[in-house]
């Protein structure tokens, strides 16, 4: 049997035990059906937040069923929908957001690999050129280009979302 405590200004219960105020026992039907992070309290009863589609979002992005603070933003979404803070407002994460995150991850990986694997060839090639060894300069530059192409093959760009 799981017991939770509810603060008077919140609809999100916390695990509790002993003799504390505002304790509720989680019915077996809810403990088997959901994880505790989805539990909310509405009118003194525990509910599954996944059954709701309208939430009040607090400053850190937690979804509440009841508005306990007038600064919380109301939004219609599923409980499992991911939210993004866009300026001062919350919005649903879109396919475009996912694409941009994936693109940035690939770009960061490529840049790191270029620094580790291509730059040494470029630096050595410049030294050889300065020393007058044109054939070694050309060979090292060709290796740098090949390594760059390998990195790009190993780290392809993500497919952009269809609009």
Residue 127, SS3 per DSSP: helix
For the record, the structure tokens of 118 come out as: 């291509």
| pLDDT tens per residue across span 10-58 | 777 766 666 666 677 777 776 655 567 788 888 888 888 999 999 999 9
Query: Does pLDDT of 8 surpass 90?
Result: no
Percent of the chain with pLDDT over 70: 86
What's the per-residue H, E or C state across 83-95? EEEECCEEEECCH
Which of 46, 81, 83 lies closest to 65 in space, CA to CA? 46
pTM of the model: 0.66
Q: What is the largest CA-CA distance in the chain?
A: 85
Please state the length of the chain: 163
pLDDT score recorded for residue 57: 96
Residue 37, SS3 per DSSP: helix
Report domain extents, the chain: 2-92, 95-154
Query: Phi/psi at 40 (nearest 5 deg)?
Result: -140, 165
Q: Does residue 115 contact residue 100 with C-beta atoms inside 8 Å?
A: no
| pLDDT tens per residue across span 129-145 | 999 999 999 999 999 99
For the record, the structure tokens of 92 come out as: 């649903």
């Amino acid at each position: 049997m799981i017991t939770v405590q509810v603060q008077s200004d919140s609809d999100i219960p916390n695990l509790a035990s002993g003799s504390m105020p505002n304790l509720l026992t989680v019915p077996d039907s809810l403990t088997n059906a959901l994880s505790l992070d989805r539990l909310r309290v509405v009118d003194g009863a525990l509910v599954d937040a996944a059954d709701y589609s309208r939430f009040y979002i607090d400053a850190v992005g937690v979804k509440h069923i009841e508005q306990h603070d007038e600064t919380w933003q109301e939004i219609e979404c599923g409980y499992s929908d991911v939210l993004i803070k866009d300026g001062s407002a919350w919005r649903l994460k879109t396919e475009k957001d996912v694409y941009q995150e994936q693109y940035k991850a690939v770009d960061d990986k490529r840049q790191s690999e270029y620094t580790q694997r291509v730059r040494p060839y470029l630096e050595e090639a410049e030294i050889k050129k300065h020393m007058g060894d044109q054939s070694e300069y050309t060979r090292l530059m060709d290796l740098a280009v090949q390594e760059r192409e390998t990195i790009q093959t190993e780290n392809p760009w993500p497919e952009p979302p269809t609009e």
